[in-house]
Amino acid sequence: MRELTIPSAGTPPQNNAAQYVFDNARTRPDLVSLKVRGTDGWREVTAAEFAEQVLGVARGLIAAGIEPGDRVALMSKTRYEWTLFDFAVLAVGAVVVPIYETSSAEQVEWILSDSEAESVIVETAAHAAIVSEVRERTPGLRRVWQIEAGAVAELTAAGEAVDAEQVHARLAAGKPGDLASLIYTSGTTGRPKGCELTHLNFLSEVSEVASGLGNLFNANTSTLLFLPIAHVFGRAIEMGAIATGCTLGHTADIKNLIADFAVYQPTFVLSVPRVFEKVYNTAKQRAHADGKGKIFDRAEAVAIRYSEAMDSGGAGPALRLQHKVFDKLVYSKLRAALGGQCTAAISGGAPLGARLGHFFRGIGVTIYEGYGLTETTAGACLNVEDKIKVGSVGRPVAGMSVQIADDGEILLAGPVVFDGYWKNTTATADALEERGGKTWFHTGDIGEIDDDGFVTITGRKKELIVTAAGKNVAPAVLEDRVRAHWLVSQCLVVGDQKPFIAALITLDPESLPTWLEKAGRPADTALSELVDDKDLRAEIQQAVDDANRAVSQAEAIKKFTILAADWTEAGGQLTPSLKLKRNLVMSERAGDIAALYSSAGRD
């Protein structure tokens, strides 16, 4: 059993995460804390203005009878008001319960009833209708406020009779160990569990991560948040930005993200690997479609070599010259797609892969890959400015201990580890283990620690495939490599107790038209007519062959099926953080999987 502990940078001085807002207003009132998009562009919000707005809403919550410890649910897409309500609820000592804005009525009912939410803030009339539909089955719910129906103004007006000192008194009375948020794991199986995250969890996460990435989190930087703040990853970045003075903007309009980047011009972004894959694949596909494929491929190879050279003394004169040429021809255009000022990114949620990591660092956008779960308040391991190893998820953040169990499972202990699952002692006992004076969280992930202390994730314990021959196969390695192909959207590797490894593959609907044109097929050809197309299968075979190069012959994909429909969050197959719900997909596609292992299975 291997263990590594990184000393803490120190105990955070605050006892409530909402104190960041009021600390900024007191020490740097003119700081541009946030930008809000309106009909006439982005409007700046200073630290003093934001604190005044948070205080106004907090007074309204007190007027409405919200007491310390009450659970207040928040159902909205990523927008300015999410952050405003987040800090206002925390300021009065209440507990924020995020709900994804895409959640179904059944999911909303479960979270509201299980958390015993006293109130809920929703974004739209459609959200309000869902709450109304389930309200009879959530008897503890007293109040519903709707953002688009003027919830901010309503609460601010209602709180005018409440002395502002009542808010500050609650802040002062709070303790770091108080519950700050119940975040329900989106879960790929079963009902979501509510992770109990304290103020200390969030304060420690912000303190340790911001100290390691001080080049990103400071008063001279900015980020445009487009991931769901309901997810712990987005929430940690939201709080980190407010705490450090990094200017924070919000958008949920993913389709127009490039246009938003052009105007907002963030200095760094955060995302999940699938988005970085899409950026890379789209650029590569467009270059080939425009007859510039050879230039892009050479530029790609130079970028990767240049990045790799950074870890071994730097590039030589010839490589530096090539890099300079391609920077003008290719790399600068890719950076322009991120707004032109972006020099870094944070990636989490799934493995990024060394190839993409080196490519982006080579074009001038360093991706700091990290690793964590809802139960660890987002990042427990992270690559940072002066300690980075592409392909790894970094070293443990300060204050954390990581241990590799005898079966390869990653165990984590430290101040960002959650207190347990809400009203679920059985699940808590399964996840947390008291040993050696520490509380160890069993992550369920499998990984390694190298001699320099960098952690690499190799798979998920529950997802390990054991073939009929007894070979253990981690599907993530293969799936990540297959998805790297510009035409592939998703990949599910199967083969548990089967004679060989196989895969189900879906195509990217945005890239398919380019392939149809290149292959001389009619633009309106239905995907259902293509799944057995020889040329299409030959294209996807290239992705499979590339993936197979990363594993042994016994672990290689022997057969695959192309499906006629993609897996999406709207379809229920992906979580809001774009993770595949493996058990659900395997159930839905049981017939396709069976066909792979029958005489009808495709070669």
What token pair was written down for 579?
């993770």
CA pair distance 54, 175, nearest whole angstrom: 20
Res 562: pLDDT: 95
Res 465: pLDDT: 86
Least confident range of 25-34, 54-63, 85-94, 257-266:
257-266
Res 361: pLDDT: 97
Average pLDDT, the chain: 92
- CB atoms near residue 578 (< 10 Å): 18
Are 366 and 270 contacting, i.e. CB atoms less than 8 angstroms apart? no
Q: Is the pLDDT of residue 153 over 50?
A: yes
- Quick one: which of 346, 406, 433, 431 has its CA closest to 381? 346
**pLDDT, tens digit, 9 for 90 and up, residues 458-516:** 888 877 788 887 777 888 889 988 998 989 999 999 998 889 999 999 999 888 888 99
How large is the greatest C-alpha to C-alpha distance in the chain, in angstroms? 76
Mean pLDDT of 528-543: 91
Sequence-separated (6 or more) residues with CB below 8 Å from residue 437: none
Q: Exposed (0-12), middle (13-18) or buried (19+): which is 42, by Cβ within 10 Å?
A: middle
Residue 536 CA, chain-centre distance (Å), reads 32
Least confident range of 70-79, 110-119, 145-154, 246-255:
246-255
Q: Which pLDDT band, with edges at 50, 70 and 90, does 583 fall under? A: confident
Least confident range of 52-56, 261-265, 451-455, 547-551:
547-551
CA pair distance 510, 374, nearest whole angstrom: 31
Sequence-separated (6 or more) residues with CB below 8 Å from residue 445: 371, 409, 410, 457, 459, 460, 461
What token pair was written down for 127?
């959200």
Sequence-separated (6 or more) residues with CB below 8 Å from residue 534: none
Res 601: pLDDT: 44
Q: Which pLDDT band, with edges at 50, 70 and 90, does 321 fall under? A: very high
3-state class of 79 per DSSP?
Answer: coil
Res 510: pLDDT: 85
Q: Which pLDDT band, with edges at 50, 70 and 90, does 2 fall under? A: confident
Are 367 and 342 contacting, i.e. CB atoms less than 8 angstroms apart? no
Looking at mean pLDDT, say which of 68-72, 281-285, 531-535, 578-582 comes out highest. 68-72
Q: Is the pLDDT of residue 217 over 80?
A: yes
Res 186: pLDDT: 63
Mean pLDDT of 91-105: 95
Mean pLDDT of 585-597: 92
What token pair was written down for 594?
């069976």
Res 190: pLDDT: 62
What is this structure's pTM?
0.85
Q: Which residue, chain included where needed, has tokens 């633009």?
A: 523
Mean pLDDT of 7-15: 86
DSSP state of 8: -
Element (H, E) at 99: strand 95-99
Strands 95-99, 71-75: pairing is parallel
What token pair was written down for 484?
């790297």
Q: Is the pLDDT of residue 188 over 80?
A: no
Residues of the chain above pLDDT 90, percent? 72
Res 596: pLDDT: 93
Least confident range of 258-267, 272-281, 394-403, 545-554:
272-281
Structural domains in the chain, sorted by start: 16-211+224-253 (3.40.50.12780), 273-340+343-460 (3.40.50.12780), 464-596 (3.30.300.30)
